[in-house]
Amino acid sequence: MPTFVRNRVLNQLTWTEEPEPTRVKRREALCELDGLLTQLEEVNLRGGHIPTRVLVALRRRGVAFGPRTGPAELIEAVFCVQEQYMRQPSGAPGIDPGALAELRRRLAS
């Protein structure tokens, strides 16, 4: 006997159009940050030192940190930087710049 499923869709989310070059740059940044995140997670699990190349790439992508910042804090910082590359649906509230600034201030100290 067939089963009928009824879906009700209310308030569907929509996104504004994005130019292709902007989309490509945004996705490249997210992919690089994702790769750096994977490396930081491995360092965090194994308890080693963060490679210099990872630190350089993090700074290039806008992740601020101090000399004694550990991998766990850097993982949190990468999440915050990734947030600025994520697209928000039309009409959604924007990212709170104060929260991002506070995290950067904490990590840089």
DSSP string computed for 61-95: TT----TT--HHHHHHHHHHHHHHHS---TT----
Query: How many CB atoms lie under 10 A from the CB of residue 14?
Result: 8
Q: Spell out the domain ranges in the chain.
A: 20-87+96-108
- pLDDT for residue 18: 85
Closest C-alpha to 38, from 86, 87, 78: 78
Residue 14 has pLDDT above 70, yes or no: yes
Closest C-alpha to 16, from 88, 93, 83, 82: 88
Sign for the CA dihedral angle at 55, 33, 74, 78 comes to positive
Place of tokens 């590359």: 85
Tokens representing 35? 């790769």
Q: What digits encode the pLDDT tens for the residues 27-81?
A: 999 999 999 999 999 999 998 899 999 999 999 999 988 888 999 999 999 998 9
Cα dihedral 57→28→17→76 (10° resolution): -40
Residue 100 has pLDDT above 90, yes or no: no
Using a cut of 0.75, tell me whether the model's pTM lies above it.
no
- pLDDT for residue 87: 79
